Amino acid sequence: MRTLLVLLLLASSACAGAVGSECELDEECAEGLTCFAQTCQQLGEPGGTLTFEVVPQPGTGLHAATFAMGRQPLRFGFCAPEAIAGTVEAEATVLIHGTPAGLPGQVRHFQQQVDGDFTLGLPPGTWTLEFLLAPGEDGPPPPPERRAVQLARCETEPLGLVATAAAAGLARFAVLVDPVRDPRPRCGLLARIHDPLTGAALSQTLAIEHEEGAPCTTPVGGWALPFAAPSGGEIELRLVPAAGAYPTVAERAVLLPAPDDDVIHEVGVGEAAVLERITVEVAGPDGAPVAAATVRAIPLVEPGADRFEPPPAAEIATGRYELWLLPGSYRIEAEPPPFVAAATGRCLAPPEGGPCDEVAIVESGAPASYRIDLQQQLVLTGRVAAPDRTSLGGARIRALPVEGGRWAETVSAPSGRYELQLDPGRYELLVIPADPAAAWRRFEQESPLLQSGTLDLQLPEPARVVGTVVGTSDGAAVPLPRAVVRAWRVDGDEAKVVGESLTDAAGRFGLALPADD
């Protein structure tokens, strides 16, 4: 009898489903396995704090939403689309920016036109809405109306009536070349009032324009901008060149007392209105001129919504480029064309050679010339290995520059070897295996790559995560096929993607995520 009992236990154990076996219930799988999608699966515990972003297929009427890691199998259920609803008294442009719930550092921007009753579908999260209401007939644009909203899952947040904000004052001003020496008016500008203490915009943007072929004129009573109440007793008038053409003035930020409506403040652009010609010679590693390079000047200032960005330089001769720039500080970089094996150059030297600098100071009345000598790209090589240290071929290795620039990608050979041609700088290496059952991995360099080197990349142990994405129809749950499920690893105030998948026809998904840190 005892022998028979042992044989029955062994037979029962042998019948338990192994990984990959078909099943209907968990009991049909071996101990520690879970039955999901009619298959026995080994689920794991991914490392770190995870947030899952689910993006439904277009046409479902649903918006992206975020979900926290829970007990597996996961179930992400969509309800009625989250939205912000209200009414505007006039046609308005709504600028929306904020952060989806659970994704710190991932700021999203949206823009929509509304008129009358409106409903704005947004993911759950923290959002700031800036309503730019249309001006009245022949009137200046009213101050922006701002609303801050915390949008929760499955909720519609009512805003009520969004009306034209009451103006605290009306700034009147005239923009002149120089109020004393050259009082001609200047056009081709964008003007806006800001709070000098907080930096917040207190007015809409006013375009100071003139008709083509007509002289620039100032309206009787000056240009007028209604503004909201500032934090202190002053306002800041910011003037920037209008986009779409080379600027004719430098940027200006002028502090004004919160003005009386009848006072016209004369603002001069002075000598800074002059553009300076900057020429750049670009030479390859062999010293020969490099044609068809992309040479651009990047202002070394905080970017602004209305800021003019200089267009790429024009090539005026083989390997010789021309920029027209406003006075200020710039980083000038030369990116070689694809057929030239060289790194992006940022070091500016005198045309005759000598020490170089990475910052160009453009001064009024001082045109300048520079030379950029391109260097050979650096070579980063190494071996990609699976968690058991065996060679891993077919993996994509993507080098993402931490501080901006060109990125590169390659695929590992069957031996696991890879090679990347890179510019100097610090990179984050993202390894995406060909096998969907293997986990991605990010490797961030602690120090910049300044010379060719070797870096071996070993993938982490995978932790299998599975789940289902569903919506609702007539009160019943329905699967959402072809929804993107993106796993974000959250670390403090930063979030990075560590895996991505699509749901199948039954709304099911599976992800292999790193099990360790």
Residue type, 347: C
pLDDT, position 291: 96
Which of 433, 515, 499, 508 is CA-nearest to residue 52?
499
Q: Is the pLDDT of residue 9 over 60?
A: no
pLDDT surpassing 50 at residue 275: yes
pLDDT of res. 184 = 85
* Residues whose CB falls within 8 Å of the CB of residue 432, separated by 6 or more in sequence, listed in order: 395, 396, 398, 440
pLDDT number for residue 13: 44
Q: Quick one: average pLDDT of 164-180?
A: 87
Residues 486-505: what's their mean pLDDT?
92
Residue 412's pLDDT is: 95
pLDDT per position as a tens digit, 427-437: 999 999 998 87
Residue 322 has pLDDT above 90, yes or no: yes
Q: What is the mean pLDDT of residues 157-170?
A: 88
Distances (CA, A) of 33 to 16, 29, 125: 10, 6, 36
* Neighbour count for residue 512 (Cβ, 10 Å): 25
Q: Which of 299-313, 391-405, 436-450, 468-482 is least confident?
A: 299-313
Of 373-382, 400-409, 413-422, which gets the smallest average pLDDT?
Answer: 400-409
Q: What is the pLDDT of residue 177?
A: 81
3 state DSSP class of 50: strand
pLDDT above 70 (res 485) = yes
Evaluate if residue 517 carries a pLDDT over 70.
Answer: no
**pLDDT number for residue 243:** 64
* Mean pLDDT, all residues of the chain: 87
Distances (CA, A) of 490 to 107, 355, 439, 441: 14, 44, 17, 14
CA distance 160 to 84: 10
Per the CB < 8 A criterion, the answer to whether 496 and 488 are in contact is yes
Tell me the per-residue pLDDT of 182-204, one tens digit each, with 9 for 90 and over. 788 888 888 999 999 988 899 99
Tens digit of each residue's pLDDT (9 = 90 or more) over 221-272:
899 999 999 988 899 999 887 765 555 566 788 899 887 667 899 988 765 5
Residue with the bigger pLDDT between 381 and 516: it is 381
72-99 residue pLDDT tens: 999 999 987 789 999 998 899 999 999 9
Taking the C-alpha atoms of residue 373 and residue 324, their distance in angstroms, rounded to an integer, is: 21
pLDDT in tens, 289-319: 999 999 999 888 765 444 556 778 999 999 9
